[in-house]
Amino acid sequence: MKGVGEEMADRSLIGKETPPGRAEAKAEEMIAFARAVGDDRPEYVDEAAAKAAGFKGLIAPPTFPMRFLFDALDPDLFFELGLNLAGIVHAEQEFIYERPVVAGEKYVITGKLHDIYEKEDKSGILDFVTFEAKGFEEKKHEHVFTARMTLISKRG
């Protein structure tokens, strides 16, 4: 019997959805995030500037929905993959917007396991696992963004 992280993650889990999560775009978190990543664009840190630019309110920096992605991930699904947790690294992230995330809005976040594949390099076999989350504005159920995160787990 092989141990955790010695076989490819279970591809039958591709498409498995997680229970919906809920998240709120809080102005103070958005401002702190913008400052933490060094992006002081006025629309991210000043509500008056955001409104003057034509937005409904303060808008979030492009990578802010990573915070929401974790609200949508089901820890049980993550562990069900059987990855080598000690060998996981963050590979990439992608964001697709229908419109900006606006402070004060509440979102329903749906998540799923988007893809699993493997590659071999000189150090061994690597498993690539992509999670996807979609954010829908809670009242109108309007699709606002899709966020994807890819992790790499080295086998063994």
pLDDT at 105 over 90: yes
Calculate Rg over the CA atoms of the chain: 18
Condensed to tens digits (0 to 9), the pLDDT of residues 37-86 reads 999 899 999 999 999 999 999 999 999 998 877 766 677 887 888 888 78
Integer Cα distance of 56 and 113 in angstroms: 32
In CATH terms, the fold of domain 11-25+63-154 is Thiol Ester Dehydrase; Chain A (3.10.129)
Written as one letter, the residue type at 93 is: Q
Average pLDDT over residues 124-139: 93
Average pLDDT over residues 74-101: 87
Q: What is the pLDDT of residue 6?
A: 67
**3-state SS string over the chain?**
CCCCCCCCCCHHHCCCEEEEEEEECCHHHHHHHHHHCCCCCHHHHCHHHHHHCCCCCCECCCCCCHHHHHHHCCHHHHHHCCCCHHHEEEEEEEEEECCCCECCCEEEEEEEEEEEEEEEECCEEEEEEEEEEEEEECCCCEEEEEEEEEEEEECC
Task: For the chain, give every domain's residue range.
Answer: 11-25+63-154
Q: What is the pLDDT of residue 3?
A: 47
Residues ≥6 apart with Cβ < 8 Å to 33: 60, 61, 64, 67
Q: Among residues 90, 27, 91, 37, which one has the least CA distance to residue 62? A: 37
Predicted model pTM: 0.84
Q: What is the pLDDT of residue 10?
A: 84
